[in-house]
Amino acid sequence: MFKKLYLGILFLLILLQPDLQAQKRHSDNGDGTFTNPVINADFPDIDVIRVDDTYYMLSTTMFIFPGVPILKSHDLVNWEYCSNVVPRMDYSPCYNLEGCNRYAHGQWAGSLKYHNGKFYVLYNTLNEGAFMCTASNPAGPWEIRKLTRGFHDPGLFFDEDGKIYVAYGYGKIFMTELDNNFAPISKDSLVYKGDIRPGLEGTHIYKLNGYYYLYSTYGGADGGQVALRSKNIYGPYEQKVVIWDKNKGTLNFGIHQGALIQTQTGEWWTMLFLDRGPFGRLPSLQPVTWTDGWPMVGIDGKGVVTYKKPNVGKTYPITDLPTSDEFDSIVLGMQWGWNHNPDSSKWSLTERKGFLRLKTVQPVGNLREARNTLTQKLFAYYSDTAPTIGVTKMVTDKMKEGDIAGLAVFQDPYGYIAVKKEKGKNYIIMVNNGTTVDSTLIKGSTIYLAANAYYGTGKACFSYSIDNKVFKTLGNELTMRFSLSIFTGNKFCLFNYATKQPGGYVDFDWFRMQ
């Protein structure tokens, strides 16, 4: 009991500690330099383009919808949300968690292009094939259509002669010409077989100074980045390792898979990502120097951590991507995404003004099966010791017998702290990977739930309060992982699911990420 009370008081001190509240969460140092990762959260499988003075970045959300996010920036360091290209996927009951799921599936690495006044996003799914999304405005609306076949990790390319190509593949890179409807009109030509190790993928195409460049990765947590070049788009291609940092434990270990970018002032940069375990895959902005016709990344073969910002001709304000939400708007902020497609009739921001109402859907056995679980990424501070803290206020008086509602840290394994309605009473429970570790009876219908996720240790712990002042820890620590069975970084989740009967609901007043 003393230990729990001590940890609860410690949690409160952390929450209120002024210097911790001031911990830097953005990359921009305010002195003309930036520190990698350029976004300290899970934004993998990057493609970046520049249109006039604005940069756009595409990333992967897999089974989270709205998904396929595009961010925008004016300096490659300070980013804001632009749009979520795909509102939902209605091509299989698995996207609705109806007897199956799309964990580790759904949208995979895509390609972002701008051509003749139109934006294009081409992405692939393992089960349904490829999809083409087009818009005249990157903020949307987007037109989405399914193509006749799939292309693994596609790199879309519009050539100067009007021809359209896609490069794709895993281990073996193929090139296929497409018609104006993005259907194949040529055979699939093998243009390069990876020869350093298995897993050559993530290809993007560029044409510079008479050469076609395939910018590709040998993926994995210890991955590296290569460039292939040829005077002919079908090859033969020669290969050059442009960066491969194998120094474990550093912020440049295994940076790979991304895009080449030229600023309006003529500088060259690349946006890659690095695997940082439970928090996911984080974007890393690196300078590029062209040497003998090759885009060499970093400085002296090593990636940079703190470095001068790109020269884009102007200075722009520091920005932080949004995380906290008071639920005062009638639309969800773009930082939120549902775990698989939501049932839109079972949630609301208008039925009770200033609250997010989550209604139960069909009864399920555990959190992995629960629809209408609302998620957002964990953002790490630029510190290995400062925890990322999620806190929410929840009202529970309309729960039904067997309902479980609360706050989770979700991957494989997952953990959560929640209210469970059992025999007409409310219990606070802590669940670690499907097992109820601890529980305690509570009175009253308003509860505050908190989760601390530690970037440095990969641990998470959970606590609760009845007054939002003194928090008591419950249960044990969750050991967070980045498991390929889920294939995204850990996320905070707000959830409410039934185990016996539908019809109950809870109201979330706010969610705040400290």
Report the length, in residues, of the chain. 514
Confidence band for 23, pLDDT divided at 50, 70 and 90? low
Which residues are known catalytic residues? Answer: 45, 201
Helix, strand, coil abundance in the chain, percent, nearest 5: 5, 45, 50
Q: What is the DSSP string of 422-465?
A: ETTEEEEEEEETTEEEEEEEE-SSEEEEEEEEETTT-EEEEEEE
With a pLDDT cut of 70, the percent of the chain lying above it is 96
Q: Does 2 score more than 60 pLDDT?
A: no
Q: Which backbone phi and psi does 25 adopt, to 5 degrees?
A: -115, 0
Q: Does 24 score more than 70 pLDDT?
A: yes
Residue range 343-372, pLDDT digits in tens: 999 999 999 999 999 999 999 999 999 999
Q: Does 327 score more than 60 pLDDT?
A: yes
Residue range 129-151, pLDDT digits in tens: 999 999 999 999 999 999 999 99
Q: 282: closest CA among 244, 254, 316?
A: 254
Average pLDDT across the chain, whole number: 95
Return the higher-pLDDT residue of 88 and 8.
Answer: 88
Q: Does 19 score more than 80 pLDDT?
A: no
In angstroms, the CA 255 to CA 246 distance is: 9
Q: What is the DSSP string of 296-309?
A: EESBTTB--SEEEP
Element (H, E) at 81: strand 79-86
Residue range 359-418, pLDDT digits in tens: 999 999 999 999 999 999 999 988 888 899 999 999 999 999 999 999 999 999 999 999
Question: Tokens standing for 489?
Answer: 């970084």
Residue range 255-284, pLDDT digits in tens: 999 999 999 999 999 999 999 999 999 999
Reduce the DSSP state of residue 278 to 3 states and report it: helix
The strand order across the sheet containing 54-58 reads: 47-51, 54-58, 67-73, 79-86
404 Cα distance to chain centroid: 26
Confidence band for 514, pLDDT divided at 50, 70 and 90? confident
Element (H, E) at 173: strand 172-178
Q: Report the half-sphere exposure of 316 (CA within 13 A, side-chain side).
A: 21
Report the predicted TM-score, pTM, of the whole model to 2 decimal places: 0.95
261 Cα distance to chain centroid: 21
In angstroms, the CA 388 to CA 511 distance is: 13
Question: Tokens standing for 346?
Answer: 């079972």
Return the higher-pLDDT residue of 381 and 492.
Answer: 492
Task: Say what the pLDDT of residue 18 is.
Answer: 36
Confidence band for 11, pLDDT divided at 50, 70 and 90? very low
Residue range 95-114, pLDDT digits in tens: 999 999 999 999 999 999 99
Task: Say what the pLDDT of residue 105 is.
Answer: 98
Q: Strands 118-125 and 107-115: what pairing?
A: antiparallel
Task: Say what the pLDDT of residue 312 is.
Answer: 98
* DSSP label of 380: P
The mean pLDDT of 486-511, rounded to a whole number, is: 98
Domains and CATH numbers, the chain: 46-308 (2.115.10.20), 337-513 (2.60.120.200)
Residue range 182-211, pLDDT digits in tens: 999 999 999 999 999 999 999 999 999 999
Q: Does 8 score more than 50 pLDDT?
A: no
Question: Tokens standing for 266?
Answer: 């003529």
Task: Say what the pLDDT of residue 384 is.
Answer: 80
Give the number of other Cβ atoms within 10 Å of residue 298's Cβ. 22
Are the CB atoms for 283 and 272 separated by under 8 Å? yes
Task: Say what the pLDDT of residue 398 is.
Answer: 98
Rg (CA), the chain: 23
